[in-house]
Amino acid sequence: MLVLAPLAAPGYVLSYDMVFVPRQPLRWELVLPSATLPRAVPLDALVSLSTHVVPGWLLQRLVLAAILLLAAIGAGRLVPGMRTGTRLVAAVAYAWTPYLAERLLLGQWGLLLAYAALPWLAGAALRVRAGDRRALLPLAGWAALAAVTPTGGLIALATVVVLTSSWLAAGVTLLLDSPWLLAAALTDADARSDPDGVAAFAARGNDWTGALGALLGTGGTWNAQTVLPSRTSVLAPVGTLALLVLAGFGLRELWRRWPAGAAARLTALAAGGFAVALLGVVPGVRDLLKWLVMTMPGAGLVRDGQKFVMPYTLLLCLLVALGAERAAGRITDRTTGRVVLGAVLLLPVALQPDLALGAGNRLRPVAYPADFVVVNRLVAADPGPVVSLPLAAYHSYPWNHGRTVLDPLPRYLDADVLTDDRLRVGRIVVGGEDRRATAVRQALTSGAPLADLGVRWVVVQRVVGTPAIPSTSLTGLRMVHDGPDLDLYVNTLRREVTTW
């Protein structure tokens, strides 16, 4: 309630990759994309199915609330021992991390579903390893929740393999990853990635401790716009050090209370994920990663290595809770011990207070302009390929308070909508794989008519800092809607789709 308070207002929270619409159409491209890599498979298809049952605004609230609730309860239940205070420390710590805050502002709620499922998945995996075959069913359920995105699926698979050593459990988890694996195998897009993305998506530091310090504090995302101001304060590295000291104090307790080898396996999983996060930071290794993503299909998944700090985050929160319990237990006065435990409980909130109230009201809902409804109706009456201009993956809209968000038209319209699949990070432009986007870019650069590409519709959006669109690019197009936020053009040449 404290984090999601602004969502009490009506509307949609649109922040970077987080795009919800009233009713997302279900198209075959969402299941098996032919021109792009399956970055949102099966997530987009699941959202489309869900919005045919509940409206998008309600689905968004249910999902975000579930992430925070499942993360907190799951981490608390995973703590070995029966002390409620200790479990509360782990719950608050795991639901109030820089990792969660940064990925939430990045709009990567699909990845955060894996984050919320991880403690539950780890608990089920430990039960399977202990010989409880009944735990295979909850293990499959939590692995399925994590596998709604490829990265979440990989982390779930690694968790099951490391914690269970069970071929059956690993096979079930791999089967749950099959939707995006199959889509990756069948797509026409080049599964190799632009090596410039290694530098663009490498973990970044916020203070003198650099990337290593940020990662140790579970932060370090590549997008500085999604880092809360509290993470750049002088207290951030001090707070990280305090948490690490508490974690070191709780390490022995975890090894003592969990079954033999279980703590070692979770530690190994966390260390492996942390090592992946460092790949784009360490000189020499960074060059190796560039070569890898450029030559090996699918290796681009590890470019944004900070995502894989997720198991380390879970381990850190468990150890902090056990360290706080051990420290409080050494104090003879019970009242003082409880005060110490309460202080540690509030420590994550004190170190990152600006996550409250929707990260300082940055998660404020907005309403889609009426133009979206009109354009959607016109396109649905005469379906055909759509080009969204300005050609960019992300836009800053005046009606979205100037906040950056992924172009919502591909999810709002029941049509094949083309946007730019390249990503700009500072001065770095990370190349995409969609050949159609390349053709549109070339046409815009040369001023060639877009109608010659065989597109049916062109939508021109009003965005902050709208670049000029060559008038010759609109030759052969007739305006059918002139709105304050969207203009819609139809191809009067009525050519068959050829180069599309």
154 and 12 in a common domain: yes
379 and 351 in a common domain: no
At 484, list the tokens. 């304050």
207 and 172 in a common domain: yes
% of the chain surpassing 70 pLDDT:
98
Cβ(165)–Cβ(195) below 8 Å: no
Amino acid sitting at position 336: T
**What is the per-residue burial (b if ≥16 Cβ within 10 Å, else e) of 113-151?**
bbbbbbbbbbbbbbbbbeeeeebbebbbebbbbbbbbbb
Pick from 74, 153, 149: nearest CA to 109: 149
167 and 188 in a common domain: yes
457-484 pLDDT, tens per residue? 999 999 998 677 888 999 999 999 999 9
- Which of residues 361, 395, 418 is at a domain's end? 361
CA distance 202 to 221: 8
331 and 413 in a common domain: no
Neighbour tally for 185: CB within 10 Å? 13
pLDDT value of residue 494: 58
Whole-angstrom CA distances from 496 to 9, 201, 451, 491, 492 are: 45, 39, 10, 11, 12
pLDDT value of residue 500: 52
76 and 25 in a common domain: yes
Task: Give the length of the chain.
Answer: 500
Beta bridge partners of 15: 18
The verdict on residue 499 lying in a domain is no
The total number of structural domains in the chain stands at 2
- Which of residues 295, 329, 361 is at a domain's end? 361
Element (H, E) at 249: helix 235-257
- Which of residues 361, 380, 398 is at a domain's end? 361
Taking CA 233 as the corner, what is the angle to CA 228 and CA 235, rounded to the nearest 5 degrees?
115
pLDDT value of residue 72: 98
Residue 335: which domain range?
5-361
Please determine, for residue 498, whether its predicted confidence score (pLDDT) is greater than 50. no
193 and 44 in a common domain: yes
Quickly list H helices, 13-106. 28-31, 43-50, 56-78, 84-94, 98-105
Please determine, for residue 161, whether its predicted confidence score (pLDDT) is greater than 80. yes
401-421 pLDDT, tens per residue? 999 999 999 999 999 999 998
pTM for this prediction: 0.95
92 and 212 in a common domain: yes
Pick from 36, 44, 99: nearest CA to 423: 36
The verdict on residue 226 lying in a domain is yes
Please determine, for residue 248, whether its predicted confidence score (pLDDT) is greater than 50. yes
23 and 157 in a common domain: yes
Neighbour tally for 295: CB within 10 Å? 11
pLDDT-derived band at 192, boundaries 50, 70, 90: confident
